[in-house]
Amino acid sequence: MYKITFLFLIFSTYSYAIDDYKAEYRFKSSQIDIKGVRQLKIDDEGESSLTFKAKSTLARLYFKTIFNIQADAVNTKSYEIEIKPGFVNRDQKILIDANSNQMSSKGRDEWILKAPEIPVVDPLNAQIQIRIMILNGFKEFKLNLLEIKDGSIESNDYKVTAENKVCNVGETQYSCIEVTRLRENEDRKTTYLMAKELDYMFVEIKDVNPKRTDILTLEKILSLG
Q: Please name which of 90, 87, 89, 116 lies closest in space to residue 101, comparing C-alpha atoms.
A: 116
Q: Which domain holds residue 67?
A: 2-224
Asked if residue 49 lies in contact with residue 65, where contact means CB atoms within 8 angstroms, the answer is: yes
CATH for 220: 2.50.20
Tell whether pTM > 0.85.
Answer: yes
Backbone angles phi, psi at 3, to 5 degrees: -65, -40
What total of structural domains would you count in the chain? 1
pLDDT per residue rounded down to tens, the chain (225 residues):
333 344 444 444 445 679 999 999 999 988 889 999 999 999 877 799 999 999 988 889 999 999 999 889 999 999 999 988 755 667 899 999 988 899 999 988 899 999 998 889 999 999 999 999 999 999 999 999 999 999 999 999 999 999 999 999 999 999 999 999 987 777 889 999 999 999 999 999 999 988 889 999 999 999 998
At 4, which amino acid appears?
I
